[in-house]
C-alpha cells in the first residue's frame, strides 16, 4: 500500500522545509515517499541545506516543531549531545539529522561521533536520506487508524421534583405515569474527538476536559433539565456538552435508572428489580442513534411452557417437556420511528419502560410457548402491534430454569433449586419493513 499523498506531506515532512513545500506544490502524489526521493536531486544545495535545517536539533523541543517530531525526540538534550551538535554544525554548516529508530541517547552520541569523521558531501547525502527515512517511519505510524474515546462512568445523581410524566394508557398495563418526585440514575459519558489525540501521543492535556469536570457538569444539567423522560435528560446532557466544549466532536450517553416508588408527597422507597435504560449517540450534526430499554426483568411461571421435538444426538441428555416451569432473565430494547417522541421530554407518543415491562409480563403469562425463542418472538410481535411509534424491538434473554429437587407424591407441590451455572442465551431483533 502506497503512502497517501500531498495532504499528508505536511505531516510527514517538516512543513516549512523546501522539500515539504515542493511536495505540496507538485502533488497530489500517489506515493509521497517515492515522490520525495525523486524531488531531492532537483533541489539546489541551498534548498537541501534548508531542508536539513528545518528539522529540529536532536533533543530540541521548540514550539514550531511538528507534533511527530516532538514525539520522536524524547527527553531533554544531554550536555554531550548538545556539544556534539554544535561541533557538527560548525564543521558542516547544517544540522545533524538521523533516523533515531528507537535507539537510545548514548547510541545516538556514538553515531554522531562517527559521522563527524565524514566529509560535507557525504553528510549532506546522509542527512537527506535520514529525512526521508523519518518521513517513511511517520507514514507507517500514521497508517494505524485510531478512535479517541474517554469519559466518566456511573455518575450517580438523585434529582428531586422533576416534571411529572403522563402517558397514554394501554390495556396490558396499569401504568399511567409517575410523579417524578425523585428522578434518579447513573450516567456514563463517553466523549469522542481527534482533538484529544495529542493527549495520547504527546501527553498534551491542553484540550482535555477532566472527567471530574464531566461529573460536575452532569450534576448541573440534571438540575437544569425540565423534562420528564430519561431519554430527554440524556439528549439534553449531550447537547449541553457539545455547546459548552467545542473540542468534543461526539458523545455517547448511557443512563441506567435507579427506580424509587413514591408512597406520598415525601415518602419514597427503593424499588429494586427491572429498570429503564437509555443509550444515545449525539454529534454536532444531530442525534445519530437512540435505543431505550428495560433491563433485568425476571419472569417465572410454573406452567404454560414446553420444550420438545428438538434435535437429539449422542450428546443430548435433556429430556423433552410438554409442560414445565419457566424462569427467564430478560432485557428488552426498542427504537423509535421518530426519536423526537422520546427526546421531547413529555408523554406524547412516549413509550414508558414500565408499560413495556407490563406488556411483556402480560404476554409471558398468557402465551403457551414451545420454546423461549417462540416466546420472545411473540413478545416482539405484540409490542410492535401495540406501539406503532416503535420501529424496532430487541431481546436478550437467559434461560434460568430451576432444577426440580423434590416433588410431592400427593399433589402439585415441588421444591426447586438454582440451576447449574451454565445457562442458555437467546437473542432476537425485530425491525419493521
List, by residue number, the catalytic residues: 152, 211
Find cell 487508524 and name the residue: 145
Find cell 394501554 and name the residue: 170
CA distance 125 to 128: 5
Residue of 418, 363, 372 lying closest to 396 (CA atoms): 372
C-alpha cell at 162: 422533576
- What Å distances lie between residue 354 and 134, 164, 278, CA to CA? 61, 15, 14
Three-class SS of residue 206? coil
- H or E, element range at 141: helix 120-142
Residue of 55, 93, 57, 60 lying closest to 75 (CA atoms): 60
Q: H helices of 154-268, where?
A: 197-201, 211-224, 230-244
Find cell 424499588 and name the residue: 271
Q: What is the DSSP letter of 93?
A: S
Query: Which burial class, exposed, middle or buried, applies to 43 when counting CB atoms under 10 A from its CB (0-12, 13-18, 19+)?
Result: middle
Residue of 274, 245, 247 lying closest to 258 (CA atoms): 274
Amino acid at each position: 500500500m502506497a503512502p497517501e499523498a500531498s495532504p499528508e506531506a505536511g505531516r510527514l515532512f517538516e512543513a516549512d522545509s523546501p522539500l515539504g513545500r515542493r511536495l505540496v506544490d507538485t502533488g497530489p502524489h500517489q506515493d509521497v515517499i517515492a515522490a520525495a526521493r525523486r524531488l531531492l536531486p532537483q533541489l539546489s544545495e541551498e534548498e537541501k541545506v534548508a531542508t536539513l535545517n528545518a528539522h529540529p536539533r536532536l533533543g530540541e523541543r521548540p514550539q514550531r516543531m511538528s507534533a511527530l517530531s516532538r514525539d520522536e525526540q524524547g527527553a531533554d538534550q544531554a550536555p554531550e549531545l548538545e556539544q556534539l551538535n554544535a561541533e557538527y554544525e560548525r564543521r558542516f554548516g547544517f544540522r545533524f539529522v538521523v533516523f533515531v529508530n528507537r535507539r537510545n541517547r548514548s547510541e545516538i552520541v556514538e553515531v554522531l561521533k562517527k559521522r563527524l569523521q565524514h566529509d560535507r558531501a557525504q553528510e549532506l547525502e546522509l542527512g537527506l536520506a535520514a529525512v526521508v527515512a523519518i518521513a517513511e517511519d511517520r507514514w507507517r505510524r500514521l497508517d494505524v487508524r485510531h478512535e479517541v474515546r474517554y469519559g466518566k462512568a456511573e455518575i450517580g445523581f438523585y434529582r428531586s421534583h422533576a416534571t411529572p410524566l403522563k402517558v397514554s394508557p394501554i390495556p396490558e398495563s396499569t401504568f399511567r405515569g409517575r410523579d417524578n418526585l425523585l428522578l434518579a440514575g447513573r450516567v456514563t459519558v463517553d466523549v469522542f474527538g481527534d482533538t484529544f489525540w495529542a493527549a495520547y501521543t504527546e501527553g498534551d492535556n491542553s484540550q482535555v476536559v477532566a472527567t471530574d469536570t464531566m461529573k460536575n457538569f452532569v450534576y448541573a444539567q440534571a438540575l437544569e433539565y425540565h423534562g420528564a423522560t430519561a431519554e430527554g435528560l440524556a439528549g439534553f446532557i449531550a447537547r449541553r456538552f457539545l455547546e459548552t466544549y467545542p473540542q468534543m466532536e461526539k458523545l455517547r450517553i448511557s443512563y441506567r435508572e435507579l427506580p424509587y416508588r413514591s408512597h406520598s408527597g415525601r415518602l419514597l422507597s427503593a424499588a429494586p428489580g427491572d429498570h429503564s435504560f437509555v443509550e444515545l449517540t449525539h454529534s454536532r450534526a444531530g442525534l445519530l442513534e437512540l435505543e431505550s430499554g428495560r433491563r433485568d426483568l425476571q419472569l417465572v411461571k410454573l406452567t404454560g411452557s414446553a420444550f420438545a421435538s428438538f434435535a437429539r444426538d449422542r450428546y443430548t441428555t435433556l429430556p423433552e417437556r410438554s409442560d414445565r416451569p419457566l424462569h427467564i432473565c430478560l432485557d428488552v430494547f426498542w427504537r423509535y420511528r421518530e426519536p423526537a417522541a422520546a427526546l421531547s421530554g413529555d408523554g406524547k407518543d412516549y413509550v414508558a419502560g414500565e408499560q413495556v415491562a407490563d406488556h411483556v409480563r402480560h404476554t409471558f403469562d398468557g402465551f403457551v410457548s414451545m420454546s423461549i425463542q417462540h416466546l420472545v418472538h411473540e413478545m416482539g410481535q405484540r409490542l410492535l402491534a401495540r406501539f406503532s411509534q416503535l420501529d424496532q424491538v430487541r431481546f436478550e434473554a437467559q434461560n434460568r430454569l430451576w432444577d426440580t429437587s423434590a416433588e410431592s407424591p400427593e399433589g402439585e407441590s415441588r421444591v426447586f433449586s438454582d440451576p447449574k451455572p451454565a445457562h442458555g442465551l437467546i437473542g432476537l431483533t425485530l425491525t419493521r419493513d
